[in-house]
Amino acid sequence: MNLFAEFPPALILILGALAVPLLPLAIRRIYVIALPLAALLYIIALPESTTGWEVGLFEFTKDPLQFLRVDKLSKAFGIIFALNAVIAFIFAFYVKGSSQHVAALLYIGGALGAVFSGDLLSLYVFWELMAVASTIVIISRKTEQAKGAAFRYVMIHLLGGLLLLAGIILTIQHNGGDIRFIPENINLADKHWGIYFIVAGILVNVGAVPLGSWLADSYPSASLTGGLVLSAYTTKTSVYALLRGFGPTEAQLAAGDAGGWEPLIWVGCIMAIYGIIYAFLENDMLRIIAFAIVSQAGFMVVGAGVGTAAAVSGATAHAMVCVLYISLLWMSSAAVLYRTGKSKFTDLGGLYKSMPLTLIFAVIGAATIAAAPFTGGFVSKPIIIAESLQGSYFNWPWLLLEIASVGVVFHAGLKLPYFVFFGKDRGLRPKEAPPSMLFAMLILAILCIFAGVNKDFLYSLLPYDVSFKAYSWAKVVHQFQLLMGAALGFYILLKVLKVLKPTPTISLDFDWFYRKGTPLLYTGLDKSLNGINAFAKTVFVDKIADWVCRFFDAAPSRALCALMFPVWKMKGLSEEAIEDQREMFYRMARRGTFAIGLTVFLAVVLLALLSLFTGIAAI
């Protein structure tokens, strides 16, 4: 193979990011769109079964690092990542600073690097690049809220990275130095600690409960562009890692068996329900989308847990479509925030009058996340739900995912667009979104519909063949029943019972524990450990050490005074005279100023004592 055929797509963005600060604004705006576009075209052109950039660095590994491994799974995620980056930078055409773009390109490059990595060690390198770059993306908003969110974000992701690294090291050791990132090496039948650490590290990044509160905390705190970029990559890269590690092995595919891991099914179900509950309670449109990301990622985690070829393909399809509609919802909400400076429902409403195009795009995004027929969500999400039945007529994962589907319609499909555009008119009359934002939203809206209408094209990109027939009468009627039922419930709560209205609520998530617990822990450690330090200083440094120093400082002089005491007694001196002599002699000893005769006398005595001790030691 030639060098170009083996070139990792991630390097197009990572190396290209270095030139961004050097370019004038007009060129930079085009350049940051051209970079991911070049990566997209390159990924499309890459033939499957391509491997490359194999570097042997470590003696403890059987195989070299592999920075490029192309198959249908990695290519599907690579295409949607690069495509979304192109559209995101079109949306961000208004941004003048370069720091956000540099961090975003490095972050997206890290995601592409992780997707195309063929081994566990190179996966970890790009995984950590994503964590560092995404933290910079959050900080780039330069507000106190962003700084606090970035600090909490990086702490959580450092934990996830350490868990992943520990798992990788243990797994490589268990596999005798085999570092390949394939299902055969993530063998759950072995039940060793490395597997569990890897899973834990991935679940931190995917937003699993209870460690997923970083998502709703950090994404809305970032800039409009930063939140848009963040919403597409961290959770989806983690989904890719789960599908790669827990998908069916070649032997299982040949036998028609499933891979997967059952606990992941329950983790995904909890995520799906948890996300819709918090989205239902939220008053902030960006936080609703953040919780929607958690809920939708839960569906994909279920697909990884089921582990059949169809479930893996369904999760891949849903990840691709999810990137589109989440980005579209984020863009429409970000456009509203850009024009109004407000993101809470209690401050918004009636915007359909002045932002009709943004409304249309928001409705298309809402319809897609609700899995309305003729949108991408309708042809991707039901595959996972169908596979969750696992051959039985009824089971709990299927029921929970159906409930989550109704909840998604309720909060992101209806609540979000209604309260922003049709709610109580607050008198806001902002301008329509800028042309670059509208153009980016138009592209995403077309893709959301295209994926639903041309499902065969979407299915052709998936890692395994899909025989799922989305447009059967039963499935279409079922979905319309679900949508109409959710809409009826929304109407009853809103207009009949009048209990559904925006309220300035604060939703307490699991991050409450480390927001409140961390200061308490710090105070406790400060009082206990620093208290022990203060006590030790007082007793050992200020008292005992000081006494020891003073003792040894004065000890030679006092010893000489003791040697002179018999001499003073033989002279017949009184007690008062002896005390005067002792004080005078002590001062002379401290200064080292003796008469010559006395010095000779003391030297003789000391030599005699030395000889005596030497003789005793020899015996």
Nearest to 179 by CA among 236, 134, 124, 136: 124
Same domain (yes/no): 536, 440 = no
At 513-572, the pLDDT tens digits run 766 766 776 677 777 878 888 888 787 777 787 777 777 666 677 776 776 777 777 777
Q: How much is the pLDDT for 1?
A: 42
Asked if residue 535 and residue 465 are part of one domain, the reply reads no
Are 284 and 424 members of one domain? Answer: yes
Residue 54 lies in a domain: no
Average pLDDT value for residue range 247-263:
85
**232 lies in some domain:** no
468 and 606 share one domain: no
How would residue 98 be classed by pLDDT, with cut points 50, 70 and 90?
confident
Say if residue 416's pLDDT is above 80: yes
Whether 143 is covered by a domain: the verdict is no
Structurally, the chain folds into a number of domains equal to: 2
- Which region, left, alpha or beta, applies to residue 160 given φ > 0 means left and ψ of -120 to 50 means alpha? alpha
**Which residue among 483, 506, 526 closes a domain?**
483
Mean pLDDT score, 43-68:
80
Residue 530: inside a domain:
yes
Strand partners, 69: 51
Q: Can you give the pLDDT at residue 109?
A: 96
95 or 593: which leads in pLDDT: 95
Residue 617 vs residue 492, higher pLDDT: 492
Residue 596 pLDDT grade (very low, low, confident, very high; cuts 50, 70, 90):
low
Q: Are 20 and 105 in contact (CB under 8 A)?
A: yes
pLDDT band at 317 (very low <50, low <70, confident <90, very high): very high
Mean of per-residue pLDDT scores for the chain: 87
Q: Which of 4-8, 258-262, 315-319, 510-514 has the highest mean pLDDT?
A: 315-319
Q: Give residue 84's pLDDT band: very low, low, confident or very high (50, 70, 90).
A: very high
Clarify whether residues 273 and 339 are in a common domain. Answer: yes
| Residue 440 within a domain | yes
Record the pTM: 0.84
Please give the Cα distance from 222 to 226 (Å, whole number). 5
In a shared domain, residues 579 and 527: yes
Q: What is the pLDDT of residue 602?
A: 63
Domain hosting 556: range is 514-618
Residue 135 lies in a domain: no
Same domain (yes/no): 521, 428: no
Terminal CA-CA length for the chain: 84
Using alpha carbons, list the distances in angstroms from residue 174 to 61, 66, 388.
12, 20, 32
Return the amino acid letter for 242: L
Give the model's pLDDT for residue 254: 82
Any domain includes 276: yes
In this prediction, residue 7 has a pLDDT band, given cuts at 50, 70 and 90, of confident
**What share of the chain in percent tops pLDDT 90?**
53
Nearest to 422 by CA among 518, 349, 320: 349
C-alpha dist (Å) from residue 325 to 13, 136, 198, 343, 449:
24, 25, 29, 19, 10
469 and 585 part of one domain: no
Could you tell me if residue 242 is left (phi over 0), alpha (psi between -120 and 50 degrees) or otherwise beta?
Answer: alpha
CA–CA gap between residue 92 and residue 434 (Å, rounded): 10
Residue 144 lies in a domain: no
The average pLDDT across 96-121 equals 93
Q: Which of 236-250, 284-298, 410-424, 525-539 has the lowest mean pLDDT?
A: 525-539
The pLDDT of residue 368 is above 90:
yes
296 and 428 fall within a common domain: yes
584-to-51, 95, 214, 591 alpha-carbon distances in Å = 91, 85, 75, 11
Q: What would the mean pLDDT of 178-205 be, rounded to a whole number? A: 86
DSSP for 469-507 reads -TT-HHHHHHHHHHHHHHHHHHHIIIIIS----------
Same domain, 306 and 454: yes
Q: Are residues 530 and 390 in the same domain?
A: no
According to the model, what pLDDT value does residue 252 have? 86
Whether residues 267 and 368 fall in one domain:
yes
For residue range 197-231, list pLDDT tens digits in order: 999 999 999 999 888 888 888 899 888 889 999 99
